[in-house]
Amino acid sequence: MSRVGKSIIKLPAKVEVKTEANFITVKGPLGELKSPIYEGVVAKVENGELVFTRTSEDQKIVSLHGLVRSLAMNNVKGVTTGWEKNLEITGVGYRAQKKGKDLVMSLGYSHEVVFPEPEGIKIDVADQLKIKISGIDRQLVGQVAADIRSKRPPEPYKGKGVKYSNEYIRRKAGKTGKK
């Protein structure tokens, strides 16, 4: 039995959930999100709680049971508190700034890297070395953070580049000269 799928989602007071044939819609103070409900998984709202059950013990349905519940939980948290990822820039001359809706970064290339802010995402630059990505959709926040990080991933010798704030960069020793 799926431990994740069995657990109940307690809905906060401001959250409204509607179940349709193939989708579950979660509406809260920060916005509205939809997530899929796959065939064989049934969602019910009872007494301010969201409960997921499955129709059979088929292996495919068992594996989708926990997935559907996790996606719904991410949506509930997203519309109440939101999601955020923090990035740090390390390197001499490396910096970031906001120009209108664009994130403009100097990352050691001959040109500036311009990253447009997607719909539903808010990008803040605290100082020139810290970037905060926030939004209600967990998948979109993570994808935008990964896209920004991919512009200059951290390298293992000096640690220069864009990294997640909680990421550890395993450093390598450089060349040793012979005498």
pLDDT tens per residue across span 58-101: 888 888 998 999 999 999 999 999 999 999 999 999 999 999 99
Largest CA distance in the chain: 77
| pTM of the complete model | 0.88
Confidence of residue 137 (pLDDT cuts 50, 70, 90): very high
Average pLDDT of every residue of the chain: 91
CB atoms under 10 Å from CB of 19, counted, come to: 15
pLDDT tens digits, one per residue of 139-176? 999 999 999 999 999 999 998 999 999 999 999 988 88
- 69: DSSP letter: H
pLDDT per residue over 5-47, tens digit each?
888 899 999 899 999 888 999 999 999 999 999 888 999 998 8
Collapsed DSSP state (helix, strand, coil) of residue 54 = strand
Residue 63, phi then psi, degrees to nearest 5: -70, -30
Tell me what pLDDT residue 20 has.
86
DSSP H or E stretch at residue 35: strand 31-36
Closest CA to 41 of 13, 78, 16, 4: 4
| CA-based torsion, 54, 56, 62, 64: positive or negative | negative
∠ at Cα 14 (13, 20), nearest 5°? Answer: 100
CA distance 147 to 76: 25
pLDDT at site 21: 81
Residue appearing with tokens 């103070």: 29
- Long-range interactions of 53-59: CB distance < 8 A, separation 24+: 54/5
